[in-house]
Amino acid sequence: MFQKIALVTGANRGIGLETARQLCLAGVHTYLGVRSLEQGQQALDKLAADGVKASILELDVTDSASYAAVYGYLNSRYGKLDILVNNAGIAAGPFPGAGPEHNAADVPMDLLRRVFETNFFSLVALTKTLLPLIRNSSAGRIVNLASILGSLQLQAKPGSPVYDSKSFAYDASKTAVNAYTIHLAYELRETKIKVNSAHPGWVKTDMGGPDAMMEIADGARTSVELALLGDDGPSGGFFHLGKPLPW
């Protein structure tokens, strides 16, 4: 009953699955939030083949009706949630297989709404639903997957690593995630809950593509570090591999 309980959204593959793996290896009972139970079982089988035991919960972050079932299950079984990793997200722009490139002047509005629905509105809504369980934890941790592409400072600075890497819908959604992190951390500042944004890096996933610089195992490290922060760890920050990033 004293074991930490974690939920990682979008965890059937890529960074989400690797985040779950590393949390399990750290002794955390981790649930993979998956849209398809069949795909979730395949993910569990991959982990089991490596001697890692996890669990799955059916969760489509764009379907708010699924939130209540997740809340009800975790509440009835544990009465708490120690770690929430808001990993699920989609891209739209200059990523392999991510759809047509666009800019702020001609972004299709349906695309903008779809990206924000998954990357921002759903993240906020799910966190709001599960926050009472996180409050019941002795040391709750909320990790929001953002991106260096959401850094306004770096996007505006000529010569920065991301100055010429602009995909408006995706970038703006991650900027919004960072704003939520700042606001929620402030509101929870008198509690033991810590809220931080994570930039995983450019990772060799389906989204990042084969030319990405980082392996998946390293791409999950920032989320895991923030999920396992001690009582003296930061809150309301934006990090990559232990180093702060500019908003």
pLDDT at 1: 47
Instruction: Considering only residues 153 and 97, tell me which one the structure prediction assigns the higher pLDDT.
Output: 153
Q: What is the mean pLDDT of the chain?
A: 91
CA distance 122 to 70: 14
CA distance 23 to 4: 10
pLDDT at 85: 98
pLDDT band, very low/low/confident/very high, at 212 (cuts 50, 70, 90): low
pLDDT at 228: 98
pLDDT at 139: 94
Per-residue model confidence as pLDDT tens digits over 187-203: 999 999 999 999 997 65
Per-residue model confidence as pLDDT tens digits over 101-113: 678 999 999 999 9
pLDDT at 91: 84
- Report, as residue numbers or ranges, the catalytic residues: 170
Q: Which of 66-80, 123-137, 193-207 has the lowest mean pLDDT?
A: 193-207
CA distance 186 to 191: 10
Q: Tell me, what CATH number does 240's domain have? A: 3.40.50.720
Counted domains in the chain = 1
Q: What is the mean pLDDT of residues 57-70?
A: 96
Instruction: Considering only residues 2 and 245, tell me which one the structure prediction assigns the higher pLDDT.
Output: 245
pLDDT at 208: 52
Per-residue model confidence as pLDDT tens digits over 130-168: 999 999 999 999 999 999 999 999 999 999 999 988 899
Does the pLDDT at position 89 exceed 60?
Answer: yes
pLDDT at 99: 52
- Domain of residue 118, residue span: 5-244
CB 133 within 8 A of CB 67: no
Alpha carbon distances (Å) from 21 to 41, 45, 107 = 14, 12, 36
Does the pLDDT at position 95 exceed 60?
Answer: no
